Amino acid sequence: MNTIRAINLGRTDYKECWDLQQRLLEQRIAGEVEDLLLLTQHNHVYTIGKSGDDNHLLASKDELKSRGVAVYHNDRGGDITYHGPGQLVGYPILDLNNYYLDLHRYLRDIEEVIIRTLVSYGVKGVRDPKHTGVWVGNDKICAIGVKTSRWVTMHGFALNVNTDLTYFSQIVPCGISGKGVTSLALVVGHEIDMNEVSLRLAESFGEVFNAVVSSSDQEAARIRTSVQAEVIA
């Protein structure tokens, strides 16, 4: 059985976390680190994937500046999405050579992790056969976009937990018109403890990937220090 180390990074800036992922991906390819599941909440940011359309960003530069929202084009799959406080973002750094060499299955397994996490709160999440992600009714609750290099993964998923959904009004979420977005807090009617949902998600991740998911305070501190050092530099 594989082992996955879960690391809660706390609140991070998107660019520093993206750079961290790239370094860890290279280290995972070289066999210098084990499989990792990075969990974080980002400061306000819109990210546009490889298949994204800049026209799906509806806000002007002045509006973005007034709300303190950054914008990045990145190398994941998918279109535009929002990240911010109250949203649980997960970045698995996994060597799929140890699991299976099937990217479509990997995406379905990430969806399954989210669906099981939602079930633990009494919420039914579903798939849309036309669009990657997880939905509650007609509203998207989790966006997914990934990249692999030599079958090692980076980027991942963004689960709306206590997310301020007004930020989605300034984009066409994931480039999909005619559908809404929601959050776990909105569905259940009360705010959700972010640490608790992180623990439940890590447990679901282990079940779906048939792995032991554990945490290490020492490893978490080392990686968090790495992010902080980048910010200072």
β-bridge partners, 82:
46
- The DSSP call for residue 102 is -
Catalytic residue list contains 142? no
Element containing residue 126 per DSSP (H, E): strand 126-128
CA distance 11 to 168: 20
CA distance 38 to 10: 10
- The DSSP call for residue 78 is S
CA distance 233 to 171: 32
Element containing residue 115 per DSSP (H, E): helix 103-119
β-bridge partners, 36:
5, 93
> Of 89, 107, 174, 211, which one is the catalytic site residue?
174
Tokens at 97, concatenated? 């050579």
Catalytic residues: 174
